[in-house]
Chains A and B, each alone.
Chain A
Amino acid sequence: MKITLNNRPEEFIGSEITVSEMLEVKKYSFKMRLVKINGRLIKREDYGKSIIKDGDNVQMLYLMSGG
């Protein structure tokens, strides 16, 4: 399946993937982040059950400490 991840085309095996799986596949290990699927914010506790499908627009940003 093909999605848009942070405005770039990205391809994954299979027809759907959870947010947790995507983070693992992409080796996004840094802990604090925000994830949006088609503009909807996914809460951390829902990463395991939130599904990303073909054509979805996924956006992610890291939250670094400091301020």
Chain B
Amino acid sequence: MKFEEIKSHLAKYTVGIAGAGGLGSNCAVALARTGIGKLIVSDFDVVEISNLNRQYYFTDQLGIKKVEALRMNIGRINPETEVIIHDQILDPENILDIYKDAVIIVEAFDRSDMKEMLAETVIGSWPEKTLVIGSGMAGWGKTNLLRERYVGDRLIVCGDESTEISDELPPLAARVGIVANMQANVVIDVLLKMKLNEDNTK
């Protein structure tokens, strides 16, 4: 498939991204570069200096809301990707409203309890939507332990599922970036499989 064909197919879709930190910002940028039509991004944080070791922000964006900064950055990369932003903390109620139009949702939180809350809400309420979770990306090295795993057709986990962040094992650009891009890669794969299915039934 040629890139123009990929791009024009992906332009038809809306992808939800829950969190705009290390996973969310990098995943969103990869998806925008590939031509996703619309991204729905939520986060309540502002850009801090400690984020710049892995998140897709710049020193002149310190203090700005992450979702605002991400929309600006994506606008500079691919203005054809529409970015809908929600500056708020997600909960089981607002998730159902914010992400209702997304065909795939990327879980991009840092806290594991938030990951669980999102997964329970999305899987419990929307069996037809695909959820791509990031789990286990702390530290450095061990690239080959990072993988994508299908837990059923519509739940995919990316990461090593074993490393947890700590003071001695912080999240760093390379490994977090790999997992963020793995999540984007799964999204692209799922959406292009839809195209192949559509083409086959024509």
Contact = CB atoms under 8 A, between A and B. Distances in A.
Nearest to B154: A39
A63 interface: yes
10 contacts: A32-B112, A32-B116, A41-B123, A44-B120, A62-B135, A63-B112, A64-B161, A65-B164, A66-B137, A67-B23
**Contact size range, B:** 35 or more
Interface of B: 19, 21-24, 108-113, 115-116, 119-120, 123-124, 133-138, 149, 151-152, 155, 157, 159, 161-165, 171, 176
Contacts of A59: 151-152
B170 to A, nearest CB: 9
Given A63-B119, A66-B138, A67-B22, 17 more contacts: A32-B112, A36-B155, A41-B124, A59-B152, A63-B115, A63-B116, A64-B135, A64-B138, A64-B159, A64-B161, A65-B110, A66-B164, A66-B165, A67-B21, A67-B23, A67-B108, A67-B171
Interface residues of A, number: 17
A25 interface: no
Given A39-B152, A41-B123, A66-B165, A61 B133 contact: yes
Contacts of B120: 34, 41, 43-44
B141 to A, nearest CB: 15
A67 B152 contact: no
A36 B157 CA distance: 14
A65 B152 contact: no
Interface of A: 31-34, 36, 39, 41, 43-44, 59, 61-67
Given A34-B116, A59-B151, A61-B133, A67 B109 contact: yes
